Structures are given as structure tokens and as C-alpha cells.
Amino acid sequence: MKKIMLVCSSGSSTSLLVKKMQEAAQKKGLKDVEIVATSQAEAKNHYDDTDVLLLGPQVRYLYNELKKTLAGKKIVLDVINSRDYGMMNGKAVLEQALKLSDQEGV
């Protein structure tokens, strides 16, 4: 089971994107993917069971700090493409997460 966590300021703006990603995963027949949204404050409570952590564009400033925090953990970190985020393109963001996890062997 791969767990993809989306992080934004409060977790609410990524919730809709999570739904779109889940729909895209269902259409692809993916049953081994869990997608969740959380706030930046709550994210640390989920590091142990996360494979891919995607930051919303509005919290991209957290990238360098999280890169240090996650060093040594098997979590792939990236920022969601601003266009895909703005368009709520769940399929594209799912593809981004899956590609990252495949590259890192997660």
C-alpha cells in the first residue's frame, strides 16, 4: 500500500484535490494507494506511514525545512505543480506522485 499525503496550510484546500485523485486512482484500477490531506501542523503525525508527501504550492516555502526533517526516512517530497493544483487536476497530481514513488523505489 502506497500512502500519498498532500499538505497545505489547513488541509482544506487539498481535500478536494484528494477526492479528484481518488477518482483517478479508481479509474486506473489502483487499489493499493491511499491518498490523504492534512495541514502542515498535523503532517508530522503521519511521517511514519507516508511514502510520498506533496506540498500545495502555497506552502512550497516548507520544502527545504521538510527536506531536512525527512532526511533518512523513505519519503519522497515534492511540490504540486501550480497549474495542476489550481485546476484540481487529480489525474495529473496522482501521476506525479506515482512517478516520484517509482523513481525512488518507494
The model's pLDDT over 67-98, given as tens digits with 9 standing for 90+, comes to 999 998 999 999 999 999 999 999 999 999 99
Q: DSSP label at 7? A: E
pLDDT band of residue 10 (cuts 50, 70, 90) is confident
Query: Which set of grid coordinates corresponds to residue 83?
Result: 497549474
Question: Is residue 85 among the annotated active site residues?
Answer: no
| Residue showing cell 493544483 | 85
Mean pLDDT of 37-53: 93
Q: Of residues 8, 25, 33, 52, which has the active-site annotation?
A: 8
Domain coordinates of the chain in residue numbers? 2-104
pTM: 0.93
Cell numbers that stand for 31 in this block? 487499489
At residue 32 the predicted structure's pLDDT band, cuts being 50, 70 and 90, is very high
- The one-letter code for the residue type at 45 is N
Pick 2-104's CATH classification: 3.90.330.10, 3.40.50.2300, 3.60.15.10, 3.40.1160.10: 3.40.50.2300
Whole-angstrom Cα distance, residue 54 to residue 98?
11
Contact 74, 1 (CB under 8 A): no
